[in-house]
């Protein structure tokens, strides 16, 4: 860990759990937490991935442990949170990145797709949040939670409606958590990214022959004309659990390269004077 003259983030030596930390945004978040001095539990479905990232974080000079578990099941979520609490000696913050989209139009969407996306993008936030809040309340810790939502939960979500509905639900759930747990000093916020160039997303496009990811953003009229990077979501997530966001709770930060600001009718193209 680099020498720090001041603990600006208020996370020095604090125990933080990153759920879904084995790759992409989760890995970037775990590494950034290590850089600002937090002790980190990296949880993932794959123990090897979790351990590999934990070793990268530990190389920064902080304590880090790798954990495995399926947080889409209540028992798995509780086990991951309990293991992090035990191995780190407490729990000050939780960042939950887990999420995955299925693709189907509404007329053909079946129960399995709907239920899978709700469980993968909404239900686990309840399980992880409950387990973490109980520890924080029992320990008298004014903890912090940060959830990953999506702009698909703000706009309509054509051909991935279940994902969009679940992400909208996660945003509402975070606000309710913030309301109910505020009396204990627990803050709960979320981050809504647009499309981010994680290894899994890039591989999915490359398998369909798409190699220039930024061209998609340009064609879609994204103001910054590129996809986001995992590190650019890690920053807002770490900010939200830091002291810098000490009076923020129940908020959903949109991190989308300007997508939400784009005027829809003419996009990024210049308007031609009709009198010419």
Q: Among 23-37, 56-70, 215-229, whose mean pLDDT is lowest?
A: 215-229
Domain total of the chain: 2
CATH number of 31's domain: 3.40.50.720
Provide the pLDDT for residue 128: 98
Distant-in-sequence, close-in-space partners of 50: CB < 8 Å, separation ≥ 6 = 21, 22, 42, 43, 44, 66, 67, 68
pLDDT tens string 139-186:
999 999 999 999 999 999 999 999 999 999 999 999 999 999 999 999
**pLDDT for residue 3 is more than 70:** no
Cα–Cα dist 24/30, whole Å? 10
Give the CA diameter of the chain: 71
Q: What is the 3-state secondary structure (H, E, C) of the chain?
A: CCCCCCCCCCCCCCEEEEECCCCHHHHHHHHHHHHCCCEEEEEECCHHHHHHHHHHHHCCCCCEEEEECCCCCHHHHHHHHHHHHHHHCCCCEEEECCCCCCCECHHHCCHHHHHHHHHHHHHHHHHHHHHHHHHHHHHCCCCEEEEECCHHHCCCCCCEHHHHHHHHHHHHHHHHHHHHHHHHCCEEEEEEECCECCHHHHHHHHCCCCCCHHHHHHHCCCCCCCCECHHHHHHHHHHHHCHHHCCCCCCEEEECCCHHHCCCCCCCCCCCCCCC
6 is a domain residue = no
C-alpha–C-alpha distance, residues 115 and 107, integer Å:
16
225 sits in the region (left: phi over 0; alpha: psi -120 to 50; else beta) called left
Confidence of residue 269 (pLDDT cuts 50, 70, 90): low
Q: Do residues 136 and 184 lie in contact, with contact meaning Cβ atoms separated by under 8 Å?
A: yes
Q: How far apart are CA 78 and CA 132, in angstroms?
A: 8
Same-domain check for residues 215 and 184? no
Average pLDDT, the chain: 92
Six token digits for residue 247: 């009076």
Band (5; pLDDT cuts 50, 70, 90): low
- pLDDT (average), residues 96-108: 94
Range of the domain at 218: 203-227
Residue 8 lies in a domain: no
180 with 245, same domain: the answer is: yes
128 lies in the same domain as 174? yes
In a domain, 140, yes or no: yes
Q: What is the pLDDT of residue 2?
A: 45
Clarify whether residues 49 and 98 are in a common domain.
yes
Mean pLDDT within 198-216: 80
Q: Over 90: is that where the pLDDT of 28 sits?
A: yes
Residue 274 has pLDDT above 60, yes or no: no
The model's confidence at residue 1, banded by pLDDT at 50, 70 and 90, is very low
46 and 73 part of one domain = yes
**Catalytic residue positions, numbered:** 163
Could you tell me if residue 266 is inside a domain? no
- Residue 100 lies inside a defined structural domain of this protein: yes
Is residue 39 predicted with pLDDT exceeding 90?
A: yes
Same domain, 215 and 143: no
Q: Say yes or no: 126 and 214 in one domain.
A: no
Q: Is the pLDDT of residue 246 over 90?
A: yes
Q: In terms of domains, do 244 and 176 share one? A: yes
Do 216 and 239 lie in one domain? The reply is no
Domain co-membership, 152 together with 162: yes
Establish if 2 belongs to a structural domain: no
Please check whether residue 94 lies inside any domain of the structure.
yes
pTM: 0.91
Examine the domain organization and report whether 37 and 51 are in the same domain.
yes
Confidence check: pLDDT of 42 > 90? yes
Confidence band (pLDDT; 50, 70, 90) for 110?
very high
CA distance 154 to 167: 8
Cα 254 to Cα 154: distance, rounded to the nearest angstrom: 9
Percent over 70 (pLDDT), the chain: 94
Query: Would you place residue 276 in the very low, low, confident or very high pLDDT band (cuts 50, 70, 90)?
Result: very low
**In this structure, is residue 272 part of a structural domain?**
no
Report the range of poorest mean pLDDT among 68-72, 102-106, 210-214, 238-242.
210-214
> Does one domain contain both 63 and 120?
yes
pLDDT in tens, 57-75: 999 999 999 999 999 999 9
């Amino acid at each position: 860990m680099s020498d720090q003259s001041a603990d600006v983030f208020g996370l020095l030596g604090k125990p933080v759990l990153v759920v879904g930390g084995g790759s992409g945004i989760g890995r970037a978040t775990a590494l950034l937490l290590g850089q600002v001095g937090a002790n980190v539990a990296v949880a993932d479905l794959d123990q090897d991935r979790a351990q590999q990232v934990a070793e990268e974080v530990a190389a920064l000079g902080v304590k880090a442990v790798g954990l495995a578990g399926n947080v889409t099941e209540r028992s798995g979520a509780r086990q991951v949170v309990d293991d992090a609490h035990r191995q780190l000696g407490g729990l000050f913050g939780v960042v939950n990145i887990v999420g995955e989209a299925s693709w189907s139009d509404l007329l053909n969407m079946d129960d399995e797709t709907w239920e899978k996306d709700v469980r993968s993008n909404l239900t686990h936030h309840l399980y992880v949040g409950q387990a973490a809040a109980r520890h924080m309340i029992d320990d008298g810790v004014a903890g912090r939670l940060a959830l990953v939502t999506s702009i698909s939960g703000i706009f309509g979500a054509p051909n991935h409606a279940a994902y969009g509905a679940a992400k909208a639900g996660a945003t509402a759930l975070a606000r309710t958590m913030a309301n109910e747990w505020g009396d204990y000093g627990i803050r709960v916020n979320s981050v809504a990214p647009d499309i981010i160039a994680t290894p899994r997303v890039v591989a999915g496009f490359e398998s369909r022959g798409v190699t220039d990811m930024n061209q998609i953003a340009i064609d879609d009229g994204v103001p910054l004309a590129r996809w986001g990077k995992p590190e650019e979501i890690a920053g807002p997530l770490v900010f939200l659990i830091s002291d810098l966001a000490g009076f923020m709770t129940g908020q959903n930060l949109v991190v989308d390269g300007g997508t939400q600001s784009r005027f829809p009718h003419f996009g990024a193209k210049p308007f031609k004077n009709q009198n010419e």
